[in-house]
Chains A and B, each alone.
Chain A
Amino acid sequence: MKIIPAIRYLLMTALTVTVLSATSAQAFRGYVQQAGDVSVSWGNGEIAVVKDMEVDPDNFDATHQTALAVRKAAVTSRRQMLDAIYGIRIDSTSTVGVFLSEDDQADARVRRLIQNSKLELPEFLDGKGQLVVSESLRGELAKLVFPSTIPFQSGIPPKLELGLDNLAAMNAMEPTGMVAGAEMYTGLVVDATTLFDVQPALAPVIYGRDGKGVYGAFRVGRTNAVKYGVAAYSTTADPIQLRSRVGDHPLVVSALAVVGVGKTDLIISGADAELARMLLKDPAVAAQCRVVIALGKSVEPDEDLQEEIQP
Chain B
Amino acid sequence: MRLLKYFACIIVFVLTAGLAQAQPVEVFVPFEEGMTSMQLRQKASDEAFAQAVTSIALKLLPGPLAKERQRLLKDYFLEKAGGYVLGYKEISSFRAEDGLNLTMDVNVNRKALRSALQDLGVYFTVSKPLPVTFRHQGELGDESLQKIRDLILLTGLKRDLDVQPEFLLQREGEKLWKGRLIFEGRDWVSIKKDIPELWFDLWKRYFNRKELRESASSSTRLRVTGWFTPDGVQDFDRVLQSWVSAVQEVKLVEMEMLPSGVSATWDVHVINQGLLKDRLAAFLPGRGLTFGIMNQE
Given A143-B24, A221-B26, A115 and B92 touching (CB < 8 A)? no
Bound form: Cα–Cα A124–B238 in Å: 33
Scan B223-249; emit 1 where CB is below 8 A from any A CB, else 0. Answer: 000011101101110110000000000
Contacts of A75 in B (CB 8 A): 228-229
Closest CB of chain B to A305's CB: distance in Å?
25
Report whether B229 and A115 are in contact in the complex, using a CB–CB cutoff of 8 Å. Answer: yes
Bound form: Cα–Cα A118–B95 in Å: 40
Report whether B235 and A113 are in contact in the complex, using a CB–CB cutoff of 8 Å. Answer: yes
Who on chain A is nearest to B239 by CB? A116
Kindly state whether residue A222 has any CB partner on chain B within 8 Å: yes
Contacts of B239 in A (CB 8 A): 116
Given A119-B286, A153-B101, A222-B103, A148 and B91 touching (CB < 8 A)? yes
Given A154-B96, A155-B96, A118 and B287 touching (CB < 8 A)? yes
Given A117-B287, A150-B92, A222-B26, A155 and B228 touching (CB < 8 A)? no
Report whether B94 and A155 are in contact in the complex, using a CB–CB cutoff of 8 Å. Answer: yes
Report whether A115 and B288 are in contact in the complex, using a CB–CB cutoff of 8 Å. Answer: no
Kindly state whether residue A223 has any CB partner on chain B within 8 Å: yes
Scan A42-68; emit 1 where CB is below 8 A from any B CB, else 0. Answer: 000000000000000000000000010
Who on chain B is nearest to A131 by CB? B288
Kindly state whether residue A156 has any CB partner on chain B within 8 Å: yes
Kindly state whether residue A152 has any CB partner on chain B within 8 Å: yes
Scan A145-189; emit 1 where CB is below 8 A from any B CB, else 0. Answer: 000111111111000000000000000000000000000000000
Kindly state whether residue B261 has any CB partner on chain A within 8 Å: yes
Kindly state whether residue A22 has any CB partner on chain B within 8 Å: no
Bound form: Cα–Cα A87–B41 in Å: 37
Which residues of chain A from 107 to 147 have a CB within 8 Å of any chain B CB?
Answer: 109, 111-119, 121, 143
Report whether B94 and A154 are in contact in the complex, using a CB–CB cutoff of 8 Å. Answer: yes
Which residues of chain A from 54 to 109 have a CB within 8 Å of any chain B CB?
Answer: 67, 71, 74-75, 109
Who on chain A is nearest to B91 by CB? A148
Partner of A74, one of B96, B228, B231: B228
Bound form: Cα–Cα A301–B11 in Å: 38
Report whether B92 and A222 are in contact in the complex, using a CB–CB cutoff of 8 Å. Answer: yes
Bound form: Cα–Cα A74–B289 in Å: 13
Closest CB of chain B to A221's CB: distance in Å?
5
Scan B256-276; emit 1 where CB is below 8 A from any A CB, else 0. Answer: 000011000000000000000
Report whether B286 and A118 are in contact in the complex, using a CB–CB cutoff of 8 Å. Answer: yes
Q: Which of A113, A116, A223 has the most CB of B within 10 A?
A: A116
Bound form: Cα–Cα A156–B100 in Å: 12
Kindly state whether residue B97 has any CB partner on chain A within 8 Å: yes
Report whether B235 and A115 are in contact in the complex, using a CB–CB cutoff of 8 Å. Answer: yes
Contacts of A112 in B (CB 8 A): 231-232, 234-235, 238
Closest CB of chain B to A132's CB: distance in Å?
11
Which residues of chain B from 198 to 252 have a CB within 8 Å of any chain A CB?
Answer: 227-229, 231-232, 234-236, 238-239
Contacts of B90 in A (CB 8 A): 148
Bound form: Cα–Cα A70–B169 in Å: 69
Contacts of A222 in B (CB 8 A): 24, 26, 91-92, 103
Bound form: Cα–Cα A152–B104 in Å: 12
Report whether A115 and B24 are in contact in the complex, using a CB–CB cutoff of 8 Å. Answer: no
Report whether A115 and B228 are in contact in the complex, using a CB–CB cutoff of 8 Å. Answer: yes
Closest CB of chain B to A50's CB: distance in Å?
15
Given A121-B288, A154-B94, A222-B103, A115 and B231 touching (CB < 8 A)? yes
Bound form: Cα–Cα A117–B286 in Å: 9
Bound form: Cα–Cα A132–B97 in Å: 48
Closest CB of chain A to B221's CB: distance in Å?
21
Bound form: Cα–Cα A152–B101 in Å: 9
Contacts of B97 in A (CB 8 A): 155
Who on chain B is nearest to A150 by CB? B92
Who on chain A is nearest to B227 by CB? A115
Who on chain A is nearest to B96 by CB? A155
Contacts of A149 in B (CB 8 A): 92
Report whether B92 and A148 are in contact in the complex, using a CB–CB cutoff of 8 Å. Answer: yes
Contacts of B287 in A (CB 8 A): 116-119
Contacts of A150 in B (CB 8 A): 92
Q: Which of A115, A117, A156, A221 has the most CB of B within 10 A?
A: A115
List 22 A-B pairs, Cβ < 8 Å. Answer: A67-B260, A71-B228, A71-B261, A112-B238, A115-B228, A115-B232, A115-B235, A116-B235, A116-B236, A116-B239, A148-B90, A149-B92, A150-B92, A152-B94, A153-B28, A154-B95, A154-B96, A154-B101, A155-B96, A155-B97, A155-B101, A156-B94
> Which 9 A-B pairs rank lowest in CB-CB distance, beginning with the nearest?
A154-B94, A115-B232, A112-B235, A115-B231, A155-B96, A119-B288, A116-B235, A112-B231, A148-B91
Beyond contacts A116-B236, A223-B24: 17 other A-B pairs, Cβ-Cβ < 8 A, are: A75-B229, A112-B231, A115-B235, A116-B287, A121-B288, A148-B91, A148-B92, A150-B92, A152-B92, A152-B101, A154-B94, A154-B96, A155-B94, A155-B97, A156-B94, A221-B26, A221-B101
Interface residues of B, Cβ cutoff 8 Å to A: 24, 26, 28, 90-92, 94-97, 101, 103, 227-229, 231-232, 234-236, 238-239, 260-261, 286-288
